[in-house]
Chain A
Amino acid sequence: MSAAINSDVVGSRKRRDWPQHGILWALILVELLPLYMMLQVSFKNNAQFIQNPWLPASPGAWHWENWSFAFTLIAPYVANTIFVAVTGTLLTLFFAVLGAYFFARYRMPCSNLLWSVFMILMMLPSIANLIPLFTLLKELHLLNTLWALVAVGTAGGQVFNIFVLRNFIEDLPKDLFEAAEMDGASHFQQIVNIVLPMCSPILGTLAILAFLGKWNDFLLPLIILRDKELFTLGVGLIYLDGEYVKHWGQVMAAYFMAALPVIVIFLFTMRLFVRGLSQGAIKG
């Protein structure tokens, strides 16, 4: 009998939630509208879109050629962006792990000084750097190369990643490192065998954040890249937007393809991502 009363209470409570569900659904539907429009317009030609902007066209009238057109257009940009984002992310994390290990393992002479060298940058806005950065890259003969983006991206990621990783490495049990040292492990071996496996969740989250940051970047590529073969997605999409006559179906298909690699990553790492964000919020 008590179970019956309980379920009754729970049921009435749940029923009281319906106004909240209503508001949430309304907000989320509007929030998802861009995604929906992008998908359904990508199958239409301009005439179909003007006639019927809201509902998807009937499947028989879908214009798949929008997608093949968009693919040939955007595939090279995607490839360039993947190169920049993946190389940049790997290098960022590799150097950041080394740096964080240096700060977390021992307090060496000058450690505090070096630490503030990094942490000051956390406070300093980087807006004034853009123009000298441009001339610096020109002098290094890195203008119009993808390596410029990799290098600047790697440098830009150091401060934040070292800051986060230092905390995580310091939280690892000290005995592990001491035992490894007894067995004659070098510092590099300690990183490979202790730090990497034990910090893998946070490394995963940081990798996703770094990857997304580099994927979304467009200001620096816009200034640096000149040759069409080197365009990353950012610049490629800006040029696509600048075309005078637009076939919205093709444009939307291209937009969707620009999101595709990120979608794939999300499908596999969503849990890591949601949890990592919440963790980060609590920690700092």
Chain B
Amino acid sequence: MPSVPLSPQKARREWKLYFFIVPSLLLVGVFSYFPAGSAIFHSLFDWQGGDAKQFVGFDNFRRALGDKVLWNAFGTVACLMLFNLFKMIPSILMAVLIHRLRSDRWQYFYRVLLVVPMIVPHLVTLFIWKFFLDPNLGILNRVLDFTGGKSALVWIDHVFGWGIFFENAPIGWLSQPELILPALFLWGFPWIGSVGVLIYLAGLQSIGSEVYEAAELDGIGPIGKFFYIELPLILTQVRLSVVLLIIGTIQGYGLQLLLLGDSGGPGGRGMVPGLWMYNRAFIAGDFGYACAIGIILFIFIFTLTVINNRYVRVDK
């Protein structure tokens, strides 16, 4: 039932229908549009969050351009983005592996197992990972001790002269500035996103078995099948995930805030732009400047979204 345009008379008779959209409109207006406008407005002021504010024009933005912390934060976020793109691979492979199983019952079984980790709230997963990375109790260090991985790291450290890993001290994944980015990379191993796998699986389901049989007749091996059959068919879903991932990574700072604190951890190595905005507003009380950072981030993400829509077409 695609909606049809109404004749003016009928529309006049149905005017009450407008009441149905009013609550949503009010909610969106008050809690989305008003704050957005207010952010633009206040980014032009020196404002501590109270009634007193002073118009400073584009000073906040000029300050941001020369703000080393902010630029380093953008560098960090670029790194995290590369990590996150790499971390998409296991989910894709897992979906393909499940899809290639010949038994439907096993396929369903693995799907159910995939859903199980989703019942743990994100925050709890986050804290358990923090616990895994703990220098004294964490299981990552225990695994490294046990498998001899630590000796290997110490040896490599010795060769290159990093001065990060020592034989008789536990590895401080979250307390040593140089290790913050590697820790954020290891984070969430083996990087399987349940929702992602389920979405890829849904895309894979459109492949009929005759396609596989034809490929087998042509002598295409398992790797060829992945690149010629499976990947092209889930490309829509993969592109969509990439777009959402990029937006999410640039905006995100919850992980860094809880893992490393509001100043981005030792040496500020985990500082991302969102966290710097949070820090300026709620730690330094510099609300005007924080709004300006928010606007810069906003412009950045919006530009990326527009580019995405133009050049990376997501076919429906």
Contacts and interface: CB of A to CB of B under 8 A. Distances in A.
Given A114-B25, A128-B36, A131-B277, 19 more contacts: A17-B106, A23-B97, A50-B137, A95-B23, A98-B24, A99-B20, A101-B20, A117-B25, A121-B28, A128-B294, A130-B277, A132-B39, A133-B31, A155-B28, A155-B30, A216-B121, A266-B115, A270-B115, A281-B202
B219 interface: no
A281 B36 contact: no
Contacts of B27: 95, 151, 154-155, 158
A124 B298 contact: yes
A234 B257 CA distance: 13
B119 A263 contact: yes
The 4 closest A-B pairs by CB, nearest first: A128-B294, A155-B31, A132-B38, A155-B27
Contacts of B32: 121, 126, 129, 155-156
B28 A105 contact: no
A30 B316 contact: no
A211 B35 CA distance: 24
B148 interface: no
B124 A129 contact: no
Contacts of A126: 32, 251
A65 to B, nearest CB: 20
Contact of A281 (B24, B198, B278): B198
Q: How large, as a class, is the contact surface on chain A?
A: 35 or more
B106 A21 contact: yes
Nearest to A177: B1
Q: Is the interface of A mostly helix, strand, loop or mixed?
A: helix
Interface stretch (B155-163, B176-184, B188-196): B188-196
A141 interface: no
A127 to B, nearest CB: 5
A284 B94 CA distance: 22
B31 A151 contact: yes
Nearest to A260: B119
B199 A234 contact: no
Contacts, number: 269
Given A117-B28, A216-B121, A218-B254, A35 B202 contact: no
B269 interface: no
Contacts of A266: 115, 118-119
Contacts of A111: 3
Interface in B10-66: 10-11, 14, 16-18, 20-21, 23-25, 27-28, 30-32, 34-36, 38-40, 42, 49
A183 interface: no
Nearest to B237: A281
Contact of A237 (B23, B31, B115, B123): B123
B238 to A, nearest CB: 12
Contacts of B130: 241
A259 interface: yes
Contact of B34 (A136, A159, A277): A136
B64 to A, nearest CB: 13
Interface stretch (A56-64, A165-173, A199-207): A165-173
Contacts of B20: 98-99, 101-102, 187
A143 to B, nearest CB: 12
B313 interface: no
Contacts of B25: 99, 114, 117
B124 A255 contact: yes
Given A128-B291, A132-B35, A135-B49, A24 B94 contact: yes
Interface string B79-116: 00000000000100010011011110010001111111
